[in-house]
Amino acid sequence: MVVNYLQEQGVNAILLSALDFMRTDKNAEPDSSYIKQKLTAIMKENEGRQIYITQASSAETPMVK
């Protein structure tokens, strides 16, 4: 919804799916190397955008018992 509004206002914005670049490691921590690699490629494919938007929550966190 926000991206659509921004685009209507003439802002060159894009919605990125976090599922395309986010993952956690075996300790349920963000996998920084993987994220950097995937996100760099996505950003190159979408160069020139003014704003990149993604979901606030992108992965499940294991429940601690």
What's the pLDDT tens digit per position in 29-60? 999 999 999 999 999 999 999 999 997 665 55
Half-sphere exposure of 50 (CA within 13 A, CB side): 8
Q: DSSP label at 51?
A: E
- Sign, CA dihedral 55-17-46-43, equals positive
The predicted model scores a pTM of: 0.71
Alpha helical stretches, state H, 1-65: 2-8, 32-45
- pLDDT confidence bin for 62, thresholds 50/70/90: low
pLDDT, averaged across the chain: 87
Domain spans, the chain:
2-53
Classify 53 as helix, strand or coil: strand
